[in-house]
Amino acid sequence: MRKIVSEKIIKPEKEWKKELTPEQYRVARLKGTEKAFTGEYWDNHEKGIYRCACCGSELFSSDSKYDSGTGWPSFFVSLSERNIRKETDTSESRERVEILCDRCDAHLGHLFNDGPEPTGLRYCVNSASLKFTKSD
């Protein structure tokens, strides 16, 4: 059974800047995007759990990770829908579904309806928004 974290984490931006790398801050706190095929986890094949880089919430399992060919870590299901919040994003002159960590509001990436079965979903996530914990 996975841990569901619900207490909200709110910090001043200067604290986030101290705790995160510049790239993590740009992506997770300023809603940036890393370049395709450059992130640490896009080609990771180890078993484990992907957590929020900002607060440690468990977001995805390696069991749901797949190669979408996009150059970003892609998952067909999250560990818990309670740990991920979805919002409408119209920032690039089109409507997309942004995914955020529900606990700390970190920008994770976007959700698309072009993934594999059984869900048909593709959680397209920036590596900079994640920390990977390898399973034994």
Residues marked active site are found at 124
- Nearest Cα neighbor of 23 from 36, 41, 39, 42 is 39
Q: Locate tokens 């002159």: which residue? A: 93
Note whether 74 and 125 are within 8 A (CB): yes
- Three-state secondary structure call for residue 127: helix
One-character DSSP codes across 4-67: PP-S-----HHHHHHHS-HHHIIIIIT---PPTT-STTTT----EEEEETTT--EEEEGGGEE-
Longest dimension (CA), the chain: 44
